[in-house]
Structure 1
Amino acid sequence: MPASRNLLAILVVVLVAALAVTGYSLYQEKKRPEGVEINLGKNGLSIEKK
């Protein structure tokens, strides 16, 4: 019985961690500025619409 309880606790921790990583990823994606990004690098001028 204690082994199954430990397994359940580990499963809950893994699910909470996955939820936290997903939430952080979505936050980072939403935080990006919208508009046009202009870069000048080795390959020349790059214009990217966001």
Structure 2
Amino acid sequence: MSFLIKRQEFSMSRNGLYAVLAILLVAVVGFAIYTYQEKQKPALEVRIDGGGVQINGNGG
């Protein structure tokens, strides 16, 4: 009977491990999407209007 109790505790800890792995996977994918979007921003922006010429760089 004690074998069944130990097996159940192991199963619960495995579910917790899967939950932690899922959270880490979501965090990594989110960070990858954020990084990709940041790299897609133009490195140099030139604006010409009535006030003159304005040049902005984002440091990329």
What is the CA RMSD across the aligned residues, in angstroms? 2.4
Structure 1 gaps of 5+ residues are 41-46
Return the index of the structure with the highest Cα Rg: 2
Aligned residues: 46
Task: Encode CA deviations 1:5-50: one digit per residue, 9 max, x unaligned.
Answer: 0000000000010000000000000000121253x8xxxxxx4612
- List, as ranges, runs of 4+ consecutive aligned residues in structure 1 with deviation greater than 2 Å: none
Larger RCO (alpha carbons 8 Å, 6+ apart)? 1
Q: Name the one with the larger helix percent.
A: 2
Q: Give the % identical residues.
A: 26
